[in-house]
Amino acid sequence: MDDIRKKRLDSLFESFSILAEGNFVYLCDIKEDYSRWSVRAVDFFGLPSNYMHGAGAIWGEHVHPEDRENYDRSIDAIFSGKDSAHDMQYRAMTKDGKYIVCTCRGIVIRDDNGEPEYFGGAIHNHDQYSYIDSMTGIRSLYGFFDDLKALFWKQETACILKVGLNNFSNINVIYGYTFGNKVLRGLGKMIQTEIGNQGCVYRMDGTKFAVISRSLSVEELKARYKAIQKKAAHKFYVDGKHVSLSMNAGIVRVDNFDINTETVYSCLKYVYYESKNRKLGTPVVFEDALTDNNRQYIEKLNVIRSSIAEDCKGFFLCYQPIMDAHTEKLKGMEALLRWKSDEYGVVSPVQFISVLEQDILFPELGKWIMRQAMTDGRKLLETYPDFVMNVNLSYTQLEMGSFVADVVQILEETGFPARNLCLEITERCRILDLTLLKNMLSTFREQGIRVALDDFGTGFSSLGILREVPVDTVKIDREYVKNVERSKSDQSTVQFIANLANAFSAEVCVEGVESAEMRDCLRQYRVSSLQGYYYSKPIPMDEFIEKYC
């Protein structure tokens, strides 16, 4: 292997290592069949070197004989270009001859011609958890969850702070990964210094840190964060270089022990991303981010979260018709999620979706929604062969590497035609990488699946999304039409959006139609479909069929 390719291999390996979180890292140059493995993996498993030719076969000798056939099949598919990802669990032998259970995940990086060039990922050892982060020397994510569980066991009140960096990749690009690691170590020490003996500091995933404090109040923790934020922006130096860091933070107070630790962590992630995506780094406190009674809300959220783990118990879908604007015949429907229980009654998703989007269980709920909507939708195909089922997507679903495959699989399982499915994305998808979003939605359209841009105009980047992302339908939010019969401003807005959508070859659906007068006014513009209480509120499928079939 020449020096240029080896340097690139090393650079990519450092990139993988930053995200490894204590796992064993590997990276293979597929064209040369030359790999680099973490030194920890070499020591732990007794591998010949951290640089190896034919590492796939060498590692295969460590895989348990009963698991080796599946391993070999997967590796062959990777190297032949058939598969782009590797995700499997098997037993692997350590240097002392003991077999441990591992999960190995990896992805293929392709060259400009689409050919497999690199294969890299991480191996997670389920038999051993490291409670100390090897790079920063502070407690790790595993230590955080252990200490959080201890809080609940002892029922000790505490406040939790989660902080993280913006655009850290720019530091790696400019200064290199070694320097980036020094930045993270320096930031960890800064946080420890500011917190002192009034809390424990943890290195979380990626460039995030957390603090658990039993002595600091919410306001005191906010003040400590602001001090850290100011120093990170103006007084942070590494190797004599001034580095300005931009930060975000979320805070949760733990004083309710009738819930579980996973629910607390979902709340913590929610306020962290509220700080990052909406508050420009201002610390967001969970109780301040809600309008409902905080304690009751968390208890309700805990029950709803547990329902997902119980095969989505208590969840159900209602459907609102989408009518042709001119003929007023049924054109489609939108699937809308609800949840109910004996204790809380029917609960709107407005009260829980924004928090659950950050939860590890949310992808399962998303798949349940899609599967249920398609199963119900098949009941209408005979009567309405051209009707379209609209399903809302969360940006967290789109972030998942397996999402496209999941949609295709559910289509196959349910027998629902791809051409009758429309996936709705919202303005919140602006936080995704636009190239990723564009490629994913282009793939859906190639499959025959339609794409709609929901709540158009409610965010500052809707126009940018419309320009860059191919969509079939633009949905005008009800806020822009509630006074459309008498408001020149609303009329001009509808006309502008309708003309804009038409310029991008997209149809227009108007939401929130509540009267015949609104309907008649909207028909003057380039509007293809209407949706709202004038036609029907969201109703269960059996009522929908009775009404329209």
- CATH code, domain with 240: 3.30.70.270
| CATH assignment at residue 397 | 3.20.20.450
Threshold 0.85, pTM exceeds: no
Do 155 and 112 lie in one domain? The reply is no
Asked, for residue 528, whether it belongs to a domain, the answer is yes
pLDDT of 9 strictly over 90 = no
Asked, for residue 171, whether it belongs to a domain, the answer is yes
Do 366 and 484 lie in one domain? The reply is yes
Do 206 and 341 lie in one domain? The reply is no
- Alpha carbon 364 to its chain centroid, in Å, reads 12
Do 226 and 368 lie in one domain? The reply is no
Q: Determine what percent of the chain falls in helix, strand and coil, rounding each to the nearest 5.
A: 45, 25, 30
- HSE (side-chain half, CA atoms, 13 Å) at 537: 0
- Domain of residue 34, residue span: 3-125
Provide CB contacts within 8 A for 249, sequence distance 6+: 161, 162, 163, 164, 225, 229, 272, 275, 281, 283, 284
Which residue in the block uniquely carries the two structure tokens 């028909």? 523
For residue 243 the two structure tokens come to: 């580095």
Could you read off the pLDDT of 439-476 as tens digits, one per residue? 888 889 889 999 998 877 655 445 667 777 778 999 98
Final residue before a domain boundary, out of 254, 289, 324 = 289
Could you read off the pLDDT of 36-57 as tens digits, one per residue? 999 889 988 999 999 999 999 9
Per-residue pLDDT band for 81 (boundaries 50, 70, 90) equals confident
Asked, for residue 163, whether it belongs to a domain, the answer is yes
Do 458 and 395 lie in one domain? The reply is yes
When divided into structural domains, the chain yields a total of 3
Q: Decide: residue 542, CB within 10 A, 0-12 exposed, 13-18 middle, 19+ buried.
A: exposed
List the beta strands (DSSP E) in 4-98.
24-29, 34-37, 51-53, 85-93
Q: What is the mean pLDDT of residues 22-31?
A: 88
Asked, for residue 450, whether it belongs to a domain, the answer is yes
Residue 52 confidence (pLDDT):
94
Asked, for residue 295, whether it belongs to a domain, the answer is no
For residue 78 the two structure tokens come to: 């990777």
Do 320 and 277 lie in one domain? The reply is no
For residue 219 the two structure tokens come to: 């306001």
- For the chain, report the end-to-end CA distance as a whole number of angstroms: 68
Q: How many angstroms separate the CA atoms of 64 and 72, rounded? A: 12
Do 99 and 170 lie in one domain? The reply is no
Do 494 and 543 lie in one domain? The reply is yes
CA separation (Å) from 423 to 76, 330, 349, 395?
A: 35, 18, 18, 12
Could you read off the pLDDT of 161-209 as tens digits, one per residue? 999 999 888 888 888 888 989 999 999 999 999 998 889 999 998 899 9
For residue 17 the two structure tokens come to: 């290592």
Do 255 and 377 lie in one domain? The reply is no
Do 43 and 109 lie in one domain? The reply is yes
pLDDT of 256 strictly over 70 = yes
% of the chain at pLDDT higher than 70: 94
Identify the three-state secondary structure at position 250.
strand
Residues 26, 41 contacting (CB under 8 angstroms): yes
- Alpha carbon 373 to its chain centroid, in Å, reads 21
Q: How many angstroms separate the CA atoms of 259 and 180, rounded? A: 38
Q: Decide: residue 233, CB within 10 A, 0-12 exposed, 13-18 middle, 19+ buried.
A: middle
Q: What is the mean pLDDT of residues 240-246?
A: 92
Q: What is the mean pLDDT of residues 301-325?
A: 91
Q: Can you give the length of the chain in residues?
A: 549
Q: How many angstroms separate the CA atoms of 528 and 385, rounded? A: 18
DSSP lists the bridge partners of residue 109 as: 118
Asked, for residue 136, whether it belongs to a domain, the answer is no
Identify the three-state secondary structure at position 334.
strand
